[in-house]
Chain A
Amino acid sequence: DAGVTQSPTHLIKTRGQQVTLRCSPKSGHDTVSWYQQALGQGPQFIFQYYEEEERQRGNFPDRFSGHQFPNYSSELNVNALLLGDSALYLCASSFLPFDLDTTVDGYTFGSGTRLTVV
């Protein structure tokens, strides 16, 4: 089953460095959303990409940027890393326009990338 694939699974970076996280969506999905989940909290929406453009953005600074490629895969880039950026980063894929008849897998989440900033 070609679910959502994220890489790497774990990453340790130093404050001030830059990091790139990658996501391949589920087969048939064309939209990718990124979420940050700090320890003990619910996921927070970072941004969503559709047709290679950022469609929506959550309350995150410009240090967080992204990209979507023609094959629908996506990257999340974080510049000037802070200790507070340490979190589990989740990628979720979906298909737009949303089809009410196929809602069970509306959003499929990857296993995440655990980023630790030291």
Chain B
Amino acid sequence: ELKVEQNPLFLSMQEGKNYTIYCNYSTTSDRLYWYRQDPGKSLESLFVLLSNGAVKQEGRLMASLDTKARLSTLHITAAVHDLSATYFCAVVDAGNMLTFGGGTRLMVKP
């Protein structure tokens, strides 16, 4: 059974600071997604990572994937308040089923 773990579960940071969210998964997968969710809203797709060493960047967010370590990271550079949200990683199994991590609630304070 595929298991996905994120840490930290909660992150409070000052604007302008950098931080990294980690996502570990238990079995081999060929796809990993990062999503953003605002309170009471649905999931917004941020990145999909397909291969070992994949790196994608959008604005202040950068995601990377190490398939050998079964680890993905979401790095936040110079955080701003608008990035406050809950971030989920999700891994696809052989049956195209998405398994989500527990989420990281990010709060960026002025």
The residues of A with any CB-CB pair to B shorter than 8 Å are: 31, 33, 35, 40-45, 48, 55-56, 58, 90, 92, 94, 96, 98, 100, 103-112, 114
Contact = CB atoms under 8 A, between A and B. Distances in A.
28 contacts: A31-B96, A33-B97, A41-B102, A41-B103, A42-B88, A42-B90, A42-B101, A42-B103, A44-B100, A45-B98, A45-B99, A55-B95, A56-B96, A56-B97, A90-B43, A92-B98, A103-B31, A103-B48, A103-B50, A104-B45, A106-B31, A107-B33, A107-B98, A108-B45, A109-B45, A110-B42, A111-B41, A111-B42
Given A43-B90, A92-B98, 6 more contacts: A42-B101, A45-B98, A90-B43, A107-B98, A109-B35, A111-B42
Contact of A48 (B33, B41, B90, B97): B97
A48 B96 contact: yes
A58 B100 CA distance: 12
B95 A112 contact: no
Contact of B42 (A44, A55, A90, A98): A90
Most buried by B among A40, A94, A106: A106
B2 to A, nearest CB: 10
Contacts of A48: 95-97
Given A100-B50, A104-B48, A43 B96 contact: no
A109 B98 CA distance: 12
A114 B103 CA distance: 19
B42 A107 contact: no
Given A42-B102, A106-B33, A96 B96 contact: yes
Contacts of A56: 95-97
A107 B41 contact: no
Interface in B35-52: 35, 40-43, 45, 48, 50
B42 A112 contact: yes
Contacts of A96: 96
A43 B48 contact: no
Query: Which of the listed residues B4, B41, B50, B97 has the most CB atoms from chain A within 10 Å of its own CB?
Result: B97
